[in-house]
Structure formats: structure tokens, C-alpha cells
């Protein structure tokens, strides 16, 4: 049985994780397909239906300005997913390379990197994030970039502690004595050995990025009109929560399904990839 | 021990000073107090704006270095953190709002921690039984609900409940009613305002402690010293309480200490939903109003909390871990 068969068998045994994966796949599908199905796009205003509850014409109802909530939720979900995945890929790659390199090269490089990380932990990052993104004019690409720049250092510290024990392993020593260049040892020999940690970091990073992005957009610092994200939709829904609660329900449901399903997947991956885990029986 | 803590303290102080000054310069890069006066009716002339801002150290006609020194020396010599573009004292604002936030955050942190530890111990001693499975499933869901969704969901439920009983049991905005007098009415009023945001913070916050406590205790339950204790006649509950729990509390204490600053700042969302005039609200206002001195004060406040969290974590290790005390 190959490694991957083993992982997938262990993952499939964790039923909540499988459910999470299915929900996540359905959400991605919804974000991709729904804009094609919708009769209105998310910017178009329907002046004959203002603030309508869900009905046959507008499946998720309309806002008081006449936006179709179905189209808005689909686009908002798409936007939140794009931001979350790109931020998580970015922070995982940077933190993995920096953290492992700091552990391998040790000495001065390690000390400077750790000092920088500790210093950045004191600087209030949420404040920086709010100031930067307030300046960005609500472009989601700039917001993602800022979130990557500010988000890499905490995971880098975790990865550094993991990589510390790796640098003392025989195969790393062997590679060094054979004259393999340092950066190549980091990328080819050390990184693959913390691969499982990186996969889990990535899924948890998606959850964290969704949370931060929705928080920012809710407060009005993130994605701005005419662009929408789940956070900005919930933010505008919050103002009419008693008079038009459907404007809150649908984006809130999409957001909760997204974060919870991803967390379940992360949990299942942890069980499947951890060689010492006894959860889910033996294989 | 004291010497060690003092050295850590000095290190943190240095970091806070550097980080705060860095934030000062960054804030000038993003915020412009002049914007507050653009579009005023009747329009203010350039000179009038400068005359308003200059005495407050907020005019960009003065070189940045001079502005910085005037601000920084004010803090060093008079503990004066400056004023906002409209002249409010930052010291007064922080001194007042700090306690509003603390009222909310401290209670929620204590409840979430106690609940998390209790659940962790309870589920760990019943690993993979029904109670453990249910506890784990609930925690993974609550931990990953966005705080905005949780808070607004609670608001909806509370409004529904208020309508059902026909009177306002839970207040969904503000931290106190203005016209309440007397000792007991004030306390009851405060609780009516506190309960919903506290529930929101606890729901999001307890699960992290639960998971950590559970997995640490599971590592320790099967350790030799716990088995020895049981062999000497202690029941399982006694062995866990007296031996396993103590060692597994150390990382939990560390984690809780480090979450203090994040909870304080994370209250930004809770405070803006429930209309509390705490530090979180202040944070939003200072950025919206180009209040550079206020923004930097919040940054410094956050840095101090991080340092306090780190020092508390160090102290917790010393108190809980006998190995550190002996050496």
C-alpha cells in the first residue's frame, strides 16, 4: 500500500472530515457556478424589488437598494475564497522557507530572523493591517498581499521549532558532507519532511485568513463597494438585522460553512498524516 | 528568579519603545490629520488649518523629526500622549476606555479559561467515549464560527427573547444605561449589558483551551508517575487532579497569558457590534478620524499587553513547575 493510499484511507475513516471536504467542495462549486445561474449580477439594481424577502425571482431576496443577494453571496464567497487561498499559500511558503532556513543556517541568520519575528509580534499587526488596507482602496489583491506580508512570521516561528530537530538528522549531515549547497538542503531535504505540518498549516491558514478578511471587511477596512466579500455583506446585513434578516442569514451561513468545513478537513488531515495518531483505528 | 524576570522585563520595555516609535512614523505615512478639515463648510483656509493643527503637533508644515521629538518628549517628561486633531486628550480617552474593555474582556477570559480547562479534563478522562466526541464536535464548530456571526446570531436570539417576554431583559447595545442610580440597580443594569457580549467572546474563546488541555492531559494520563500514583491506591480522579493536571496546566497557562492581548484587541469586533465604547471602538475611531496620537497610543497599549502576557507566562511556569523553582 502506498503512502497516499494510507493517508486517504485514514482520512476517509474520519467521517466529519469527509463531510467537511464535501461541504468545502460544494461551496467552491457554488462560488464558481452560481454567478452563471443567477438572473442578476451582483452590481445590477432591480428597482421593482427593493428589500424583498427571498422569493422565486430573487432566491435569497434583495437589499434595500435592489441588489440580488444570491448573486452577491456567490461573488462574495468567490472573493473570500480567493483571498483566503492566496494568503494561505503565500504565508505557508514564506514561513516554511524562512523558518527552515533559520534552523538550518543557524548562527547569525537564525538570531536576526528570530529577533525580527519577536519584534513583529510586539507591533500590533491588526492596526497595521487596518491602516494599510484602508489606504489600498479596497482592492482584494492588495489586501491579500498585505495579509501575506503581516501573516508569515508567527507560523515561521512554529516551523522553526519543528525544523530544529531536523537539522541534527543523519540525512541532513550526510547531504552537507557530500557538498550539497545549503539552500538545496533546506528545499529538498528538510521541507519535505515537515510536509504534513505544512499541509495542516495551509488548511488552518485558510480558516484564519477568512476570519481576518471578513473581520476587516465587516469593519469597512477590507473589500469595498462595488466589490463584495462575505464580511462586507454581513456588515451591511447587520444594519438591517431586524427588518431584513435574510441579508445576514445567507452570507453568515456561507461563512460558517466555509470556516467550519475547512477546520474539519484540517482535523482529518492531522489524524491522517500524524504517524503516532491512534484516532481512527489502525492502518 | 527575580533577576531573570527583571532582565526579561527590560528586554520587553526596549521592544515596546522601538515598536511604538516605529508605529508613529508608519501612522504618519497612512493618516493625514489635514483630511479632517477638507470639505468643511464654510471652507477653512490653508493657514487656518495649520493654526489649528500646529499647537497639537499634528501639522505637516513642521518637519517630521520635530513633530516626533515634541510628541516623544511629551511622553517621557510629562507622560502626555498628545491630543487628537480636535483636541481631546489621548490620556483621558485611554484611561476611561481601558476599563470599559477590561470589564468585558477580563470576565470573558476567566470564564472561557475555566470552562475550557474543565471541559478538557472531563473529556480527556473519557477519551473516545460519547461525551468526548460530543465535546470535541461542539468545540471545533464554535471555535471556527466567525465572531461577527456568533455575536449577531446572539443579538437575533436576544431580540427574539425580549419580544417573547415583552420586556427588555438583554440590552443589545451599550455598556450601561444612562439613567440608572443606586447600587443594586446599577449592578443589574451592568449585567444586562454584559451578558450578551460575554457569551459571544466565551463561545469563540473556550475551545482553544479545551483542545490544548485535553491533548496535554492525555499525554500525561498514561505517564509513569500517574500510574505509580494509581498503584499506590489513588482513584483515577484523584491521580488526575493531584498529579497529571498540575504538569499539564503549564502550557495552558502560557497559552492563556498570550491570548490576553489578542482578546483585548479582538474585542474590536464585539465592541463595535454591541456598541461598547472601549479600546476596540477607539481603535476604529482613531483610524477613521486620522488621530495619529490615539492610534500610536493603542499600538503602545497592545504592545504592553503582549509584554504583560509574556511575563505572566514566565511567572506561571515558575509557580507551576517545581523543576524551575528548584534550579
Q: Is B240 in a helix, a strand, or coil?
A: helix
Distance from CA of A166 to the nearest CA of B (A): 23
* Test the B interface: residue of A116, A118, A126, A127 with most B CBs within 10 Å: A127
Element holding A232 (H helix, E strand): helix A230-239
Which positions in chain A have a beta carbon within 8 angstroms of at least one beta carbon in chain B? 16, 118-119, 121-124, 126-128, 130-132, 134-135, 207, 210-211, 214-215, 218-219, 221, 231, 234-235, 237-238, 241-242, 245, 248, 252, 255-256, 259-260, 262-264, 267
- With beta carbons less than 8 A apart as the criterion, state whether A24 and A265 touch: yes
- With beta carbons less than 8 A apart as the criterion, state whether A104 and A186 touch: yes
Residue A123 has its nearest CB partner, among B23, B148, B298, at B23
| ipTM, 2 dp | 0.84
Residue B265 has its nearest CB partner, among A126, A248, A255, at A126
Residue A34 half-sphere exposure toward CB, CA atoms < 13 A: 21
pLDDT, position A163: 86
Dihedral sign of CA atoms B220, B221, B223, B225 in order? positive
From B102, B108, B81, B105, select the one nearest B93 (Cα to Cα).
B81
CA A250, A252, A257, A259: dihedral to nearest 10 degrees?
150
Distance from CA of B305 to the nearest CA of A (A): 9
User: From A206, which residue of chain B is nearest by alpha-carbon distance?
Assistant: B144
Neighbours of B307 (CB within 10 A): 19
Cα separation, A87 vs A202, whole angstroms: 9
pLDDT, position B327: 52
* Test the B interface: residue of A122, A161, A212 with most B CBs within 10 Å: A122
Cα separation, B211 vs B218, whole angstroms: 11
What residues of A are in contact with residue B23 (Cβ under 8 Å)? 123-124, 127-128
What residues of B are in contact with residue A214 (Cβ under 8 Å)? 146, 148
What residues of A are in contact with residue B265 (Cβ under 8 Å)? 124, 126
* Test the B interface: residue of A14, A24, A118, A123 with most B CBs within 10 Å: A123
Distance from CA of B16 to the nearest CA of A (A): 7
- A5, three cell numbers: 493510499
pLDDT tens by residue, B127-143: 888 999 999 889 999 99
Largest distance between two CA atoms of chain A: 76
Question: In terms of C-beta distances under 8 Å and separation of at least 24 residues, what long-range contacts does A111-114 make, across chains too?
Answer: A113/A156, A113/A160, A114/A157, A114/A160
Can you list the residues of chain B whose pLDDT is less than 70? 264-266, 322-327
- With beta carbons less than 8 A apart as the criterion, state whether B153 and B197 touch: no
pLDDT, position A283: 47
pLDDT tens by residue, A132-142: 877 777 788 88
- With beta carbons less than 8 A apart as the criterion, state whether A68 and A228 touch: no
> Is B77 buried (19+), middle (13-18) or exposed (0-12) by CB count in 10 A?
exposed
Neighbours of A38 (CB within 10 A): 20
CA B276, B278, B284, B290: dihedral to nearest 10 degrees?
130
pLDDT tens by residue, B203-250: 988 998 999 999 888 888 878 888 888 888 888 888 888 888 887 888
Contact A255 B146 (CB under 8 A): yes
Predicted TM-score (pTM) of this structure:
0.86
Can you list the residues of chain A whose pLDDT is less than 70? 1, 275-283
Cα separation, B54 vs B60, whole angstroms: 8
Residue A175 half-sphere exposure toward CB, CA atoms < 13 A: 18
Which region, left, alpha or beta, applies to residue A241 given φ > 0 means left and ψ of -120 to 50 means alpha?
A: alpha
Cα separation, B296 vs B291, whole angstroms: 9
* Test the A interface: residue of B23, B123, B124, B152 with most A CBs within 10 Å: B152
- With beta carbons less than 8 A apart as the criterion, state whether B326 and B1 touch: no
Amino acid at each position: 500500500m502506498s503512502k497516499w493510499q494510507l493517508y486517504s484511507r485514514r482520512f476517509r475513516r474520519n467521517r466529519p472530515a469527509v463531510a467537511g471536504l464535501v461541504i468545502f467542495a460544494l461551496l467552491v462549486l457554488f462560488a464558481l457556478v452560481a454567478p452563471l445561474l443567477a438572473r442578476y449580477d451582483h452590481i445590477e439594481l432591480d428597482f421593482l424589488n427593493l428589500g424583498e424577502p427571498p422569493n422565486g425571482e430573487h432566491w435569497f431576496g434583495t437589499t434595500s437598494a435592489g441588489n440580488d443577494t444570491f448573486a452577491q453571496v456567490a461573488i462574495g464567497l468567490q472573493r473570500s475564497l480567493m483571498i483566503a487561498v492566496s494568503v494561505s499559500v503565500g504565508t505557508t511558503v514564506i514561513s516554511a522557507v524562512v523558518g527552515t532556513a533559520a534552523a538550518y543556517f543557524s548562527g547569525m541568520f537564525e538570531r536576526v530572523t528570530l529577533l525580527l519575528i519577536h519584534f513583529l509580534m510586539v507591533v500590533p499587526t491588526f492596526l497595521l493591517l487596518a491602516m494599510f488596507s484602508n489606504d489600498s482602496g479596497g482592492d482584494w489583491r492588495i489586501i491579500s498581499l498585505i495579509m501575506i506580508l503581516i501573516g508569515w512570521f508567527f507560523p515561521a516561528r512554529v516551523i522553526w521549532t519543528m525544523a530544529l530537530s531536523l537539522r541534527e538528522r543523519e540525512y541532513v549531515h550526510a547531504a552537507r558532507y557530500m557538498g550539497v549547497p545549503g539552500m538545496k538542503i533546506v528545499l529538498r531535504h528538510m521541507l519535505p519532511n515537515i510536509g504534513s505540518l505544512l499541509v495542516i498549516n495551509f488548511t488552518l491558514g485558510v480558516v484564519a485568513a477568512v476570519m481576518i478578511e471578513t473581520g476587516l471587511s465587516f469593519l469597512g477596512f477590507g473589500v469595498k463597494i462595488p466589490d463584495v466579500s462575505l464580511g462586507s455583506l454581513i456588515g451591511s446585513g447587520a444594519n438591517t438585522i431586524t427588518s431584513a434578516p435574510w441579508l445576514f442569514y445567507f452570507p453568515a451561513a456561507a461563512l460558517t460553512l466555509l470556516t467550519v468545513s475547512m477546520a474539519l478537513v484540517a482535523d482529518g488531515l492531522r489524524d491522517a498524516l500524524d504517524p503516532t495518531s491512534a484516532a481512527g483505528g489502525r492502518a | 528568579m527575580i533577576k531573570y524576570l527583571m532582565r526579561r522585563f527590560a528586554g520587553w520595555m526596549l521592544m515596546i519603545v522601538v515598536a511604538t516609535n516605529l508605529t508613529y512614523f508608519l501612522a504618519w505615512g497612512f493618516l493625514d490629520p489635514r483630511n479632517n478639515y477638507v470639505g468643511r463648510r464654510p471652507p477653512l483656509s490653508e493657514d487656518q488649518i495649520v493654526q489649528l493643527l500646529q499647537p497639537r503637533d499634528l501639522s505637516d508644515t513642521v518637519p517630521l523629526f520635530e513633530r516626533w521629538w515634541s510628541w516623544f518628549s511629551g511622553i517621557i517628561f510629562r507622560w502626555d500622549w498628545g491630543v487628537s486633531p480636535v483636541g481631546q486628550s489621548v490620556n483621558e480617552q485611554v484611561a476611561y476606555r481601558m476599563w470599559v474593555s477590561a470589564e468585558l474582556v477580563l470576565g470573558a477570559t476567566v470564564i472561557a479559561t475555566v470552562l475550557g480547562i474543565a471541559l478538557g479534563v472531563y473529556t480527556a478522562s473519557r477519551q473516545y467515549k460519547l461525551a468526548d466526541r460530543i465535546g470535541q464536535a461542539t468545540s471545533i464548530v464554535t471555535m471556527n464560527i466567525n465572531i461577527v456571526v456568533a455575536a449577531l446570531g446572539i443579538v437575533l436570539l436576544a431580540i427574539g427573547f425580549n419580544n417573547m417576554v415583552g420586556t427588555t431583559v438583554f440590552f443589545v447595545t451599550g455598556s450601561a444605561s444612562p439613567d440608572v442610580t443606586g447600587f443594586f440597580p446599577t449592578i443589574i443594569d451592568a449585567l444586562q449589558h454584559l451578558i450578551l457580549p460575554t457569551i459571544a467572546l466565551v463561545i469563540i474563546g473556550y475551545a482553544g483551551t479545551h483542545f490544548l488541555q485535553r491533548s496535554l492531559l492525555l499525554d500525561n494520563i498514561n505517564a509513569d508517575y500517574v500510574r505509580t500514583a494509581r498503584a499506590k491506591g489513588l482513584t483515577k480522579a484523584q491521580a488526575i487532579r493531584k498529579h497529571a493536571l498540575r504538569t499539564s496546566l503549564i502550557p495552558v497557562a502560557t497559552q492563556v497569558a498570550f491570548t490576553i492581548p489578542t482578546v483585548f484587541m479582538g474585542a474590536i469586533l464585539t465592541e463595535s457590534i454591541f456598541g461598547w465604547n472601549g479600546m476596540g471602538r477607539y481603535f476604529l475611531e482613531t483610524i477613521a478620524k486620522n488621530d495619529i496620537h490615539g492610534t500610536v497610543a493603542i499600538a503602545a497599549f497592545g504592545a504592553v499587553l503582549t509584554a504583560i502576557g509574556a511575563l505572566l507566562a514566565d511567572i506561571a511556569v515558575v509557580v507551576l513547575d517545581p523543576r524551575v523553582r528548584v534550579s
